[in-house]
Amino acid sequence: MDVGLTFGTGEGALQRQSWITMITAPPRVVLIVDDEPTLVDVLAQYLADEGFRVVRAVDGPQAVELFREQAPDLVILDLTLPGFPGTEVLRRIRAERDVPVIMLTARDSEVDRVVGLELGADDYVSKPFSPRELVARVKSVLRRNERAEHASDAHHRRIGAILIDPVGHEVRVNGRPVGLTPTQFKLLEILASHVGQTLTRDQLLERVTTDGDVFDRTLDRHIANLRARVEPDAGNPTHIITVFGVGYKMVDPT
């Protein structure tokens, strides 16, 4: 069948542990976005045989909807789709969460490849392709992504939904990048370094006045602006808490 694809000693305890891991570990989810049902059927079977759970979308709008509902670990995304193209799907899911993406296309031009990679795709596969090779690439991209996450954990700080990268000077909330001013970042970094500890207004001012634009009368405004960017509901903060008459503290709601 040709559908545009090219097919090419504690042993007992260890076995029990392996079975427990297999039972308790949830399968990783792969979202396939393609409007060729035969291709998707074949690829989905190969992925399922390797222990993945597969979710399917046939057009751009459905892809974005299922991405939000299913929270996949990786997306296989065709460039040419009904509704809106794969490039638009990629833009929208990148605004939601950073997740590995392998782009598919029948077009094998250098321009398409460059556009896909510039938009943030992690890999690029042209049709026709070997399903075994694509599954191997899925595993490789996931391993690479996991290694990068482990390496970055050494200097990242996570408080609830907030992930702070002091080296890269970046903040993400629920996986989405958040733009902060230098003063807001400094305040967040100070508070995150003292989770559960109340910092007085004087302590906060002492640490951020090197920026030259934070005074007692403006501290509350900076905190309010910071909350507007990192809290799910700035009016009812769950991360940056006011301790009335004293100052502020960072708490981990999880």
DSSP reduced 3-state for 234:
coil
* Count of Cβ atoms closer than 10 Å to residue 176 Cβ: 14
Model pLDDT, residue 237: 92
Domain boundaries, the chain: 11-153, 157-250
Name the H helices within the chain: 11-24, 37-49, 60-70, 86-96, 110-118, 131-153, 182-192, 201-208, 216-230
> Does the structure show a pLDDT above 70 at 179?
yes
In this structure, CATH architecture of domain 157-250: Orthogonal Bundle (1.10)
Q: Which helix (H) or strand (E) holds 29?
A: strand 29-33
Rounded-to-integer distance, Cα 233 and Cα 254, Å: 16
| CB-facing half-sphere around the CA of 112: CA atoms within 13 A | 16
Confidence of residue 210 (pLDDT cuts 50, 70, 90): low
Smallest Cα–Cα separation from 245: which of 198, 186, 175, 176? 198
Rounded-to-integer distance, Cα 178 and Cα 174, Å: 10
Give the pLDDT confidence of 117-155 residue by residue, as tens digits.
Answer: 777 788 888 888 899 999 999 999 988 877 766 655 556
Give the pLDDT confidence of 223-245 residue by residue, as tens digits.
Answer: 999 999 999 898 999 999 999 98
Smallest Cα–Cα separation from 204: which of 221, 216, 217, 195? 216
Q: Is the pTM of this model over 0.85?
A: no
Rounded-to-integer distance, Cα 248 and Cα 194, Å: 10
Comparing 199 with 4, the larger pLDDT belongs to 199
Task: Please check whether the two domains, 11-153 and 157-250, share a CATH topology.
Answer: no
> Does the structure show a pLDDT above 80 at 51?
yes
% pLDDT > 90, the chain: 39
Model pLDDT, residue 214: 57
Name the least confident of 37-51, 56-70, 190-204: 190-204
> Does the structure show a pLDDT above 50 at 22?
no
| CATH no. for 11-153 | 3.40.50.2300
Model pLDDT, residue 47: 96
* Helix, strand, coil abundance in the chain, percent, nearest 5: 45, 20, 35
Cβ 178 vs Cβ 226: under 8 Å: no
Q: Which of 44-58, 181-195, 231-245 has the highest mean pLDDT?
A: 44-58
DSSP reduced 3-state for 15:
helix
For all residues of the chain together, what is the average pLDDT? Answer: 82
Q: 5: exposed, middle or buried (C-beta count within 10 Å: 0-12, 13-18, 19+)? A: buried
Give the pLDDT confidence of 69-93 residue by residue, as tens digits.
Answer: 999 999 999 988 999 988 899 988 8
